[in-house]
Structure 1
Amino acid sequence: MIESLSNWSHQFFVDHLILALLVMTRIGALLVAIPSMTAVIERKMQVLLAATITFLILPTVAANTATEIPDSSHIAEVLIAVVHEALIGLLIGTTVQLIITGIQVGAEVTSTSGAIQAASTTDESGQSMPALARLVGLLIVAILFAAGGHRLIMNILLDSFTRLPPGTVVLNESMLTLVIDQLTSGMVAGLRIAAPVIAALLLSNLVIGLISRTLPQLNVLAIGLSINALAILVVTAITIGSAGLIFQEELAVAVQKLSEIW
């Protein structure tokens, strides 16, 4: 019985080789487009993860795919279908990643404004970034998993296979509009997180200005940097919880917009 089941599964994947390629391309592009979640996973493990998910959902996708898959003899059609699948995976991943990136940019703005950007670390791509921005990015990723965001992303992916079966993807203007809207939403989310800290910095600069007028003999530069750093740390500690709430709100909106596109 086990041998017959193995033979059936082998023949099934041989018959649906092109479909498996298209499904794995969409999943792989999704994983690549969210480096905040997958950068800590080695490339080999990412490929293995994409292959495992493909193996699990391929029978369901094959049963729901009533349209004709490009034949392997038509290389050009297969390549076009692969590109379309990759773009759909990138669309889903980029929609989520833009929110995380926007929030990180907001934290980076606060670090730069308070002159504490010297305390830097590296992000997922190996580039240098302020430690505060990196901390906020890790917090957002932790909230993403804690709130079940990874399950939402998987639901979006499975829903896309139902609404847009492999080989039938047609790109339209609404997809590009979604990316632009999410870029704007991500930047707005970052500004919402940075606003309290920037306001505190403005207030601290006013205090430093008064001190410099009252006691000109003091080293205003050293005192000002210390006060600004203290203001950033205190206000960030008080308001950092809002980053998670803003992210969950933006993620819910992004999921709704993707569902409307399908």
Structure 2
Amino acid sequence: MLDTINWANVPAFLLILVRVTSFFVTLPLFSYRTVPTRHKVAFSFFLAAIMYFTVPAPELVIDGEYFLLLFKEMAVGIGVGLLAYIILSAIQIAGGFIDFQMGFAIANVIDPQTGAQSPLIGQYLYIITLLFILAVDGHHMMIDGVFYSYEVIAMDQFLPLREEGWIMFVIQSFNQMFVIAFLMAIPIVGCLFLVDIALGIIARTVPQLNVFVVGLPLKIFVALSVLVIAMTFYVMLIRNLFETMLTTMRDLMQVLGG
């Protein structure tokens, strides 16, 4: 069986396998702890085997330059997947803003996907976001992004790291992520701000009323009521956030591809 293997094709296959595996290390949905590691490795191997017959693979020789190409493939996969995960984490940042105003900031939950602490409302919105991505076949779109990345960044092409374009693009993506998080949190945070103003007026006009006892359950009730009313608005923002994530992945690969 070993005699039938064309060993000249192994270096190109290893480059494809490294890029696909690196994508699945940080890409949303595929990188979570709830997905077994053996499934990630097996899926990466079979996907790389399928892509090998469709991606133009040049003749490569294992030398010092080849190991630099391996590091380049790893950097492309991890960098693009990590930026996509950062854009999607705007949901949890918005949930942190909301929880701070509701009084839930002291009660965090463990996110089973990442193993990190997450705010309550942020985890709720994040689960809705994951369900939305699965409902619109977003995981297939992300796999398409892995496949079409070879049209922008060739297998034997090095990254233009000396240029400052990719640094400015990453900074702008961070800025856009915080803007999206602010837009998602502002309806509830704005209503809770008005509640705080009303409670301050009541505390000055009716000193006998203990505002600290009434204020916390009132703010929780108002926040949950506004959250139910604004769910349609949040679904629209989640759709825009997912489109922004795909656009950011594509634009970063174009910047890295020169």
Q: TM-score scaled by structure 2?
A: 0.87
Out of 28, 31, 34, which is 2:27 matched to? Answer: 34
> Would the aligned equivalents of 2:88 and 2:245 in 1 still touch at CA under 8 Å?
no
Aligned counterparts of 1:178 and 1:145: Cα–Cα separation in 2? 28
Out of 200, 206, 210, which is 2:197 matched to? Answer: 206
Q: Residue 140 of structure 2 corresponds to which residue in structure 1?
A: 151
Mapping of residues 186-225 of structure 1, within 5 Å: 186-225=177-216
> Would the aligned equivalents of 2:27 and 2:82 in 1 still touch at CA under 8 Å?
yes
Aligned counterparts of 1:244 and 1:22: Cα–Cα separation in 2? 38
One-letter amino acid of the counterpart of residue 178, structure 1: F
Unaligned runs of 5+ in 1: 1-5
Q: Residue 227 of structure 2 corresponds to which residue in structure 1?
A: 236
Aligned counterparts of 1:163 and 1:35: Cα–Cα separation in 2? 21
| Corresponding position: 1:23 with 2:13 | no
> Would the aligned equivalents of 2:29 and 2:139 in 1 still touch at CA under 8 Å?
no
Q: 1:155 to 1:177 in 2, by over 3 A?
A: farther
| Corresponding position: 1:185 with 2:179 | no
Aligned counterparts of 2:48 and 2:155: Cα–Cα separation in 1? 12
- Superposition deviation, residue 91 in structure 1: 3.1
> Would the aligned equivalents of 1:91 and 1:175 in 2 still touch at CA under 8 Å?
no
Spell out, residue by residue over 1:191-222, the C-alpha distance to the aligned partner (whole angstroms, 9 max, x if none): 00000011011111112112212322222112
Q: Percent identity?
A: 18
Unaligned runs of 5+ in 2: none
More helix by share: 1
Spell out, residue by residue over 1:85-120, the C-alpha distance to the aligned partner (whole angstroms, 9 max, x if none): 112112331232122111210111110122112342
| Corresponding position: 1:57 with 2:62 | no
- Superposition deviation, residue 177 in structure 1: 3.1
Mapping of residues 1-262 of structure 1, within 5 Å: 11-12=5-6, 14-39=7-32, 40-61=34-55, 64-65=56-57, 67-69=58-60, 71-72=61-62, 74=63, 76-123=64-111, 124-172=113-161, 173-260=164-251, 261=254, 262=257
Q: 1:240 to 1:169 in 2, by over 3 A?
A: farther
**Cα RMSD over matched residues?**
2.2
Aligned counterparts of 1:242 and 1:24: Cα–Cα separation in 2? 40
- Bigger shift: 119-128 or 23-32? 119-128
Aligned counterparts of 1:258 and 1:226: Cα–Cα separation in 2? 42
> Would the aligned equivalents of 1:37 and 1:141 in 2 still touch at CA under 8 Å?
no
Q: 1:38 to 1:244 in 2, by over 3 A?
A: farther
Aligned counterparts of 1:139 and 1:181: Cα–Cα separation in 2? 26
